[in-house]
Amino acid sequence: MKRAILVLLTMVTALTISAQSGTIKVINGKVVEGDFFKEKIFVFDHYLDGRIRLNNGEVYTGKVNISTMDQTLRVISDTGDTISISNEKLVEVVSSGNYFFRKFNIGYIQYVNTNGEVSLGLHRTMKLGTEKLQGAYGGSNEVSSIQKIANIDVDSRVEKISGTAELRYTYTETLFLMKDNKYYPANKRNFERMFSSLKSKINQYVDENNLSYNKKEDLVTLFNYLAKL
């Protein structure tokens, strides 16, 4: 119960580092206007070779991407189609090159940096105005083909829109501090709590460099400094 309350408070008090809103135009399930939306609807601008680890230890490889709209993993099928995976709830970790993501109840959080004990993570999310949409529309450690865990169809609200519609969207990026597979808002209180022995250095560095806990780049700068100490 205590853990559930902690997670709820984390979600409510999480600091949105950056947010941008706009409008997209959709005709018969296809976005025809809204370049920023199309740019940010997936984490990567193209599908990358990646590895998926499930919480049962199974590992799969293939072309991967992450939807910021519904926080689901997308893959490329053998026929070249974009599909979701059938056991999304089992996904624990997704990696591709230097990119590393862990799946939490709020979705995928990317590891930005770590000192081995505490990590800084970035969560991206795209939300559509729901009111505008109404009426519109095993234990194995072996590496396997990604097709074994793939669905045939992708359930997309945008793709279900028939006719023409204009929808509001909001894209947000939120930074979290992560420790022991839990995430916390990247704010002053949690920085000082996670790096309790460096509290005086934190305050000094923030003051000397005129950093703000409300700016993404400043939080990254602060964490990078602390990770080197």
Contact 153, 159 (CB under 8 A): no
Q: What separation in angstroms does the CA of 180 have from each of 25, 42, 102?
A: 42, 27, 12
Determine the pLDDT at residue 80. Answer: 86
- Number of neighbours of residue 159 by Cβ within 10 angstroms: 14
Determine the pLDDT at residue 143. Answer: 57
Determine the pLDDT at residue 153. Answer: 41
What is the rounded distance in angstroms from the CA atom of residue 181 to the CA atom of residue 119?
A: 10
Mean pLDDT by 10 residues, the chain (229 residues): 38 60 87 91 95 95 94 90 87 97 97 97 88 43 55 55 83 97 96 97 98 96 97
Determine the pLDDT at residue 145. Answer: 57
**Closest to 171 measured CA to CA, from 115, 125, 135:** 125
Determine the pLDDT at residue 86. Answer: 82
The torsion region of residue 172 among left (phi > 0), alpha (psi -120 to 50) and beta comes to beta
152 DSSP 8-state letter:
S
